[in-house]
Amino acid sequence: MSEPRSTRSRTPLLVAGILAFVAVVALLLYGVQRSGRADRDSLPSALIGKRAPEFDLPLLHDPSIRVHARDLRGAPYVLNVWGSWCPTCREEHPILSRFALTKRVRVIGYNWKDERADALHWLEQLGNPYLLVLADQDGRTAIDWGIAAAPETFLVDARGVVRWKHSGMLTQELIDEELIPALTQLERAPAGPQLPAAP
C-alpha cells in the first residue's frame, strides 16, 4: 500500500537532485571554458565611462615637454601601455604598428616604469608606432589609470572619457572586433550617451 506513496514522495526529490547535478555540471563547464581564455585574469576597468585621469607627464623623447590630459582632448586617442622590460609588448608591437599605420586614430604610447635609454633603444630597434610617448617612470600616474600590468590599451574619446580597455596583448582579432567598432561607435555619437559633466 505504501509502495506508490513512497515512490511519489521520492520523485520530486529525484528531479531536484538531477537539476542540481546538471546545474553544477553546467557551472563546471562554464568555468573550464572560461579558463581557456587568454585574458581570464584581467579585470574589467573601473574607469570605463569615466573621465581619464588628469595626468601631467613628460614626453619620452623630450622630458622638458609635459603633456596634460586636456592637451589630448578634441579627438579620440588610443593609449598603449608598454615597457622595454615587457616581452609581451615586443610581441604586440608589430600588430599595434600595423594598426597605427592605418592612421585611424591617434596612438599614444605610455612608457611605464622604464629606463629612458632602454625605452628609446627599444623604439629605435623595433620602430616607433606612436604619435607621442608619455613617460611615467615612477609609476604614480599609472595608479590613477588603474594599470596593473603591461601591455594594456585604452580608448579615450574626444571629451576625455575612457570608453574601452584591454588588458594584455592586442591581437588583430581584438582590434577588428572590439577596438575599431568601439571607435566607430564613438565617432558616430561623439558626445556619448552617459557623459559625465565636464569639470
Partner 1 sequence: MSTAVTRRSGGLGWRLALVFALAWAAMVPSGLAQPVSDPAPLQYRDAAEEARFHALTAELRCVQCQNQSLADSNAQIAHDLRREVLALMQQGRSDAQIKQFLVERYGEFVLYRPQLESRTWLLWFGPALLLVAGAGLIAWIVRRRSKALPAAGEPPQEW
Q: Does 58 contact partner 1 by CB under 8 A?
A: yes
Q: Does 46 contact partner 1 by CB under 8 A?
A: yes
Instruction: Say how far apart CA 134 and CA 71 lie, in whole Å.
Output: 12
Q: Does 137 contact partner 1 by CB under 8 A?
A: yes
Per DSSP, the three-state class of 23 is helix
Q: Which of residues 76, 146, 151, 168 is near partner 1 by CB under 8 A?
A: 146
Q: How far apart are the first and last CA of the chain?
A: 79
Q: Which of residues 27, 28, 63, 94 is near partner 1 by CB under 8 A?
A: 63
Q: Which of residues 51, 90, 106, 116 is near partner 1 by CB under 8 A?
A: 116
Q: Does 44 contact partner 1 by CB under 8 A?
A: yes
Q: Which of residues 32, 33, 138, 199 is near partner 1 by CB under 8 A?
A: 138
Least distance from partner 1 to the Cβ atom of residue 47, Å: 7
- How many helices and strands (H and E) does the chain possess? 6, 7
Q: Which of residues 95, 131, 149, 158 is near partner 1 by CB under 8 A?
A: 149
Where does residue 168 fall: left (phi above 0), alpha (psi -120 to 50 degrees), or beta otherwise?
left
Q: Which of residues 107, 147, 170, 186 is near partner 1 by CB under 8 A?
A: 147
Q: Which of 95, 96, 123, 112 is nearest to 148 (CA)?
A: 112
Instruction: Say how far apart CA 50 and CA 128 lie, in whole Å.
Output: 29
For partner 1, the closer of residues 89 and 183 by Cβ is: 89
Residue-wise DSSP of 84-143: TT-HHHHHHHHHHHHHHHTTSSEEEEEEES--HHHHHHHHHHH----SEEEEESSSHHHH
Any residues with CB less than 8 A from the CB of 180 and at least 6 apart, and which?
104
Least distance from partner 1 to the Cβ atom of residue 84, Å: 9
Task: Please check whether residue 104 is in contact with residue 77, taking contact to mean a CB–CB distance below 8 angstroms.
Answer: no
Q: Which of residues 88, 90, 115, 171 is near partner 1 by CB under 8 A?
A: 115
Least distance from partner 1 to the Cβ atom of residue 13, Å: 8
For partner 1, the closer of residues 99 and 122 by Cβ is: 122
Footprint on this chain of partner 1 (rule: CB under 8 A): 1-2, 5-6, 9, 13, 41, 43-47, 58, 63, 113-116, 118, 137-140, 142-149
